[in-house]
Chains A and B, each alone.
Chain A
């Protein structure tokens, strides 16, 4: 990771030498990956599921409180949102309740309403919402001191605290002048553009970005990146060694919400190597683009790194080449007459 003092030097020099920050193009890119209708659908699906669960006397006795979690909650989801997570806190669940029985109970309750749209997974119950082209993962959780526990794949319980990650993300966003959230969206879109449906997914990139932002000078520093383009480039650069070290088993990638817990990454070694390679190249390309005094060339690079959205539209648009202003008046600089 680049040291802060080095970042200060790099930014100070490079800002003076020229930058293609393409503010408007980045803003438009962000609006092209906004979930839009998916956000309404997620809220509607959550409300429906909550109503079904709240009709059950046992769950209510166990203190059921359901909240939306995941990238949607952290506002870093990008179009299209295909799944949303509903976290069902059960603070009064008896300590000896079997996690798989709990999942079965949730699946039965939901099946009454949704029939074969319901499927029980190892750690959650999935409900399809075909009208929204979306599914809801319902995750039951019991209280464990300051954390929560959810069913794991081995029939036991596993610590988690998704709401805490939301709070940490909000704090990081504030510290970075509200640039963290939009840049994470761009980074998730970059993963989609460079790696498609291949694992690891967007959450892996988000967690790596969260750690990377720790090393990026924040709004209190003169070295704080001044634009979305600069933030995006620096984030790619700062994440690249994190992904490489993780792929090479030199460093762990930690779950920000649970101290000393590794992030579960469902990817093969080959896939981890591939995303580390892709990220290193993306970081180099983005830096070249940012330093370029030719914003057409720069825009072409950012366009490639951000690919297309789920509608098949280019996320980043290359501006039309225009030479605006600085023309000499044929009659010279003659004054006006009053």
Chain B
């Protein structure tokens, strides 16, 4: 019999309860749901100190909450503002190490040792916002955490800039940077003529004055407002003046810990009764963050030039993947226009319906990473152009699925002595293949894919051919195969000399 949800959770709690009692903890509260449980005991390697362990509602799939009451009000790394210890980072949660009560107690004692040694050799921990009471907004019954996105720190470093307040998704963006210090506006008049707008009211709602300051090395995870004021230096009185005039100020800071840099932001506002109100938000740097995620081949792709012929379904995804992987010199070739029906199997954003497919691919990629835009070109027309392309580019990838284009590129390959990649779905999704044409090292071409007859019978206005029922999955998987081959070849890695074929959605005879 399968256990019920309650029995499963109860069993996990029971094990922990018995283990904690073995470790001389006492069960002070228990109940039907995990969050009804609490234990008290003592922990410590040298001097014992009290510890309170409780469970959250999602136990055993979340770590127990451990509080050391004697340290609950201290500010320290790996300890939340409410005193709960962060005993495991997200990468070590998978093994649910807390299910073993002895390991839980040992981990608490390990935490104490590290804390007492000043967290020497600790990971950089660049999530300072987690320690500073993260700003959570409730809007339209939806919670969101505002975040400021900057292109890179240098964009705003060392001065004043202007930013938007959080939009409907919580996004704050930089409007204009490296600005002179703003003037302190006149206080908002309490009495105004009917229909008149308070001075600066429009601008107050639309933009916020912001200042970027480098905090340098930090030793404690909580940033006091006094520290911000101190770091503001000569700008301090101006910030105070803006706040007193009813203008919020964004304070964006860079900090370092163990040679690594992080960012944090504070929305400061002055309330007559509450004094300075501050809300902490994360600051996300885009450019470097994206580069870190481009994969380990990115450096090898930086100066490579690639043409993707065909910006349809496979070509759009393949080009998009190469661009995401750090390829900066990428050209897509096509003459077609993006229509709504294409979107099901196309990488472009719906915002570009009606554009050339090449432009749609370029603009979609630009929204993500604008610093190296994809180039666009018309389809390849004659042998001279094809030969020139093969000579000029490090790699040409044919994604047209068009036999005539393939013949043209094959002829150009014979003329130039260079191979190109042909990437295609076969049998409306029964197989996907990447062919190196001609194969390298005089290898035999990969055998033809064996597919069953599959008549496409759906027709559509504006199309001279029936609409292929190829599943989007087959498209994306094949595009990914092609992108992988392209990346490995561009990086100088050995690949199967003729390419690769893969069964996708086979059809029974």
**Chain A residues, Cβ within 8 Å of B4:** 320
B60 touches A324 (CB 8 A): yes
Instruction: Please pick, from B18, B96, B293, the residue contacting A325 in the complex, using a CB distance under 8 A.
Output: B96
A335 sits at the interface (CB 8 A): yes
Q: Are B13 and A24 within 8 A (Cβ)?
A: yes
Contact A319 B17 (CB under 8 A): no
Interface check A16, CB cutoff 8 A:
yes
Is A226 in contact with B26, judged by CB distance below 8 angstroms? yes
Q: Could you say which of B10, B90, B94, B96 contacts A24, with CB atoms under 8 Å apart?
A: B10
Is there an interface contact between B14 and A319, defined as CB atoms closer than 8 Å?
A: yes
From DSSP, what is the main secondary structure of chain A's interface residues? loop
Query: What are 9 A-B pairs with beta-carbon distances under 8 A?
Result: A15-B22, A21-B27, A22-B14, A24-B17, A222-B24, A226-B21, A226-B26, A319-B7, A336-B90
Contact B99 A18 (CB under 8 A): no
- Inter-chain contact B14/A227, CB cutoff 8 Å: no
In the complex, the answer to whether B24 meets A15 with C-beta atoms within 8 Å is yes
User: With a CB–CB cut-off of 8 A, which chain B residues contact A27?
Assistant: 30-31
Taking the closest CB of chain B, its distance from the CB of A117, in whole angstroms, is 42
A321: chain B residues within 8 A (beta carbon): 11
Checking A20, A227, A319, A329 against B27 with a beta-carbon cut-off of 8 angstroms, the contacting residue is: A227
Instruction: With both chains docked as a complex, state the minimum distance between the C-beta of A30 and any C-beta of chain B, in angstroms.
Output: 11
Chain A residues engaging chain B, CB cutoff 8 angstroms: 15-16, 18-24, 27, 177, 222, 226-227, 230, 295, 319-326, 329, 333, 335-338
Question: For the complex, what is the distance from the CA of A338 to the CA of B26, rounded to whole Å?
Answer: 39
Query: Footprint of A on B, CB under 8 Å?
Result: 3-4, 7-15, 17-18, 21-22, 24-27, 30-32, 60, 90-91, 94-96, 99, 293
Task: State whether B11 touches A319 (Cβ < 8 A).
Answer: yes
Excluding A20-B18, A336-B90, 16 further A-B contacts by CB distance (< 8 Å) are: A16-B22, A23-B17, A24-B13, A24-B32, A226-B24, A230-B21, A295-B18, A319-B7, A320-B3, A322-B7, A323-B11, A324-B8, A324-B9, A324-B15, A324-B60, A336-B91
Shortest Cβ distance from residue A78 to the other chain B in the assembled complex, whole angstroms? 20
Q: A227 to chain B: which residues have CB within 8 Å?
A: 21, 26-27
A24 to chain B, nearest CB (A): 5
Q: Please, which residue of chain B has its CB at the minimum distance from the CB of A335?
A: B91
Given contacts A319-B10, A320-B7, A336-B91, contact A325 B99 (CB under 8 A): yes
CB-CB under 8 A from A322, the residues of chain B are 3, 7-8, 10-11
Instruction: Give every chain B residue within 8 A of A337 (Cβ-Cβ).
Output: 293
Interface pairs A-B: 4 shortest CB-CB: A320-B7, A322-B11, A324-B12, A322-B3
The answer on a CB contact under 8 Å between A23 and B14 is: yes
In the complex, A2 Cα to B91 Cα: how many Å?
49
Residues in A with CB closer than 8 Å to B90 are 336
A23 to B30, Cβ gap below 8 A?
A: yes
* Cα distance A326–B25 in the bound complex, in angstroms: 23
A23 near B22 with CB under 8 A, answer no
Complex alpha-carbon distance, A255 and B4, angstroms:
49
A residues less than 8 Å from B94 (CB atoms): 329, 333
Contacts of A23 in B (CB 8 A): 14, 17, 21, 27, 30
The answer to whether A21 touches B30, judged by C-beta atoms less than 8 angstroms apart, is no
A223 to B44, CA, bound (A): 20
Name the CB-closest residue of B to A17.
B22
Contact A21 B21 (CB under 8 A): yes
| Chain B residues with CB below 8 A from A336, complex form | 90-91
Residues of B close to A21: CB separation below 8 A:
17-18, 21, 27
Contacts of B32 in A (CB 8 A): 24
B247 to chain A, nearest CB (A): 34
Residues of A within 8 Å of B17, CB to CB, are: 21, 23-24
Cβ-defined contact, B14 with A333, below 8 A: no
The distance from the CB of B402 to the nearest CB of chain A, in whole angstroms, is 36
Whether the Cβ atoms of B21 and A19 lie closer than 8 Å is yes
The CA-CA distance from A333 to B25 in the complex, in Å, is 31
Q: Tell me how far the C-beta of B285 lies from the nearest C-beta in chain A, rounded to whole angstroms.
A: 13
Q: Report how far A16 CA is from B95 CA in the complex, Å.
A: 24
Contact of A19 among B7, B22, B26 (CB under 8 A): B22
- B24 contacts which chain A residues (CB < 8 A)? 15, 222, 226
Q: How far is the CB of B125 from chain A (nearest CB, A)?
A: 15
Residues on B with beta carbons closer than 8 Å to the beta carbon of A324? 8-9, 11-12, 15, 60, 99
**Docked CA distance A16–B20 (Å):** 10
Distance (Å) between the CB of B60 and the closest chain A CB?
Answer: 5
- Chain A residues positioned under 8 Å from B15 (CB to CB): 324
Given contacts A19-B21, A21-B18, A319-B14, are A326 and B99 in contact (CB under 8 A)?
yes
Decide if B7 touches A325 in the complex (CB within 8 Å): no
Which of A18, A323, A326 has the most C-beta atoms of chain B within 10 angstroms of its own C-beta? A326
Residue of A nearest to B7 (CB): A320
